[in-house]
Amino acid sequence: MTGTTRQTRYEEFSRYVAERGPALLRIARSLANDRSDAEDLLQAALLKTFFAWDRISSPNARDGYVRRAMVNTQISEWRRNRPNIYPTEDIPEQQVDDPTWKSDLADAVHRAVERLPERQRAIVVLRYYDDMSEPQIAEHLGVSLGTVKSTLSRAVGKLRHDADLVIERATS
């Protein structure tokens, strides 16, 4: 590999990370416990991606490669940190922690998104998790821009309604 090719590869990868980094970090945050773990997870996945950069044949496959690397890395981490469980005759007392508001909110948002109809859910995920623009979503799904905008508007309205109900229950 010549110096020029290596430099071009590095520049191309750097542009990719600068462009897609925020969206990929959001995906990493959904897999990890906190922001610093998510950043570490994304960095590990990007390192694996950099070494495989020349083998990723299509620019459209890059996000998928990084996502798969994050999932595989996180699964390995979960397996490494799995507690050793030994059977016993005595049942230990269970510690009951009050879930934090943040985890309740994340759980409520996740459940609310899951309750959306399939097209609305797909458009919300593409827009807010994959950080695609409305025209990109329209092209990706093969629908008109107006369909994307109206569907996204209805989906966000449903999500706001669900969030209001969760907040109302939490404060009452």
Tell me the pLDDT tens digit for each residue of 15-59. Answer: 999 999 999 998 888 888 788 888 999 999 999 999 998 888 788
Q: How confident is the model at residue 140 (pLDDT cuts 50, 70, 90)?
A: confident
| φ/ψ of residue 27, rounded to 5 | -65, -40
Q: Could you tell me how far CA 3 lies from the centroid of its own chain?
A: 35
Q: What is the pLDDT of residues 91-123, one digit of tens each?
A: 667 665 555 555 666 777 778 888 888 889 889
Q: CA-CA distance, 74 to 88, in Å (whole number)?
A: 30
Do 33 and 50 contact (CB within 8 A), yes or no? no
Neighbour count for residue 123 (Cβ, 10 Å): 28
C-alpha pair distances (Å), 7 with each of 48, 53, 66, 78: 18, 13, 21, 36
Domains along the sequence of the chain with CATH: 3-80 (1.10.1740), 101-171 (1.10.10.10)
